[in-house]
């Protein structure tokens, strides 16, 4: 189950990055609480069961304990909801 969720989270993150037109380097250089990173974290968290540690490592968001606050920043905000709709409808 965990491996499946990680693959799905990776797919969602990659699709979101494509829509946002950001690359790996952008994730590395952006701040831990960057709005786009928060949206990607929220997207993956809302649709999979990956751990906060996995998400914080994947998105370079610092300590996993801070991830809940970052996810909450994006939760149900119009830009994040639009991103989720685009990613989900790509299927």
User: Which domains, ranges and CATH numbers included, belong to the chain?
Assistant: 2-89 (1.10.1750)
Question: Mean pLDDT across the chain, nearest whole number?
Answer: 92
Cα distance between residue 5 and residue 9, in whole Å: 6
Q: For residue 39, what is the DSSP state?
A: H
C-beta separation of 32 from 62 below 8 A: yes
Model confidence, pTM: 0.92
Q: Which of 47, 45, 27 is nearest to 36 (CA)?
A: 27
Is residue 76's pLDDT more than 90?
no
Q: Which residue has the tokens 């690359």?
A: 23
Q: What is the pLDDT of residue 2?
A: 75
- pLDDT tens for 34-58 read 999 999 999 999 999 999 999 999 9
Q: How many alpha carbons fall within 13 Å on the CB side of residue 50?
A: 30
Beta carbons within 10 angstroms of residue 34's beta carbon: 20
């Amino acid at each position: 189950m965990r491996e499946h969720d990680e693959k799905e989270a990776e797919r969602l993150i990659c699709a979101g990055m494509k829509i946002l037109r950001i690359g790996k380097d952008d994730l590395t250089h952006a701040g831990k609480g960057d709005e786009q990173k928060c949206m990607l974290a929220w997207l993956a968290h809302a649709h999979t069961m990956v751990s906060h540690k996995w998400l914080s490592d994947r998105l370079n968001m610092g300590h996993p304990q801070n991830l809940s606050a970052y996810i909450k920043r994006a939760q149900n905000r119009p830009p994040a909801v639009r991103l989720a709709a685009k990613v989900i409808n790509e299927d």
